[in-house]
Homo-oligomer: A and B are copies of this chain.
């Protein structure tokens, strides 16, 4: 038995809450785990097959009218595997890919104004995202449960990032005023 892939973990976690189709899993991922773990159809559908072969989930045909549909349920073996992962003390992946930050940290080549502009744009970007999430909040709250908690986390996270940029922008403005460093030339 090979190691559980990240996508497998997402799927097992999702079907543990009840039987789901690949489409449903993707839909839920897009409004919940994607804040800390995304997955695409190209990963989900093949992984569903693999997990079924390994006996961790089981698919049952469940067409809605003439529209084909397969819903997958977690098996005892799958529940056990999920539990093993949840309780294993192994170090967990933690990776951030933030192009905005990469830009800012290489922004030494830009003028002071351009740097500020960049920070402000990034701040606005994350603020706009927070707003979008907040608009979805009432609906999510009504539905409750895990996707709601994930949404709240998403809001907190992006709010923090926006705050960081506001802080950095303020610092940058403060750094400009005292003495004139490098005027006119570039």
Interface residues of A (CB under 8 A from B): 6, 9-10, 12-13, 16-17, 32-33, 35-38, 79, 82-83, 85-87, 89, 91-103, 105-110, 114, 118, 121-122, 125, 146, 149-150, 153, 156-157, 160, 164
Contact = CB atoms under 8 A, between A and B. Distances in A.
Nearest to A99: B92
A96 B83 CA distance: 23
Nearest to A74: B109
Nearest to A161: B94
Nearest to A32: B105
B101 A37 contact: yes
- Count copies of this chain in the complex: 2
Nearest to A164: B156
A92 B82 contact: no
B105 A99 contact: no
A147 to B, nearest CB: 9
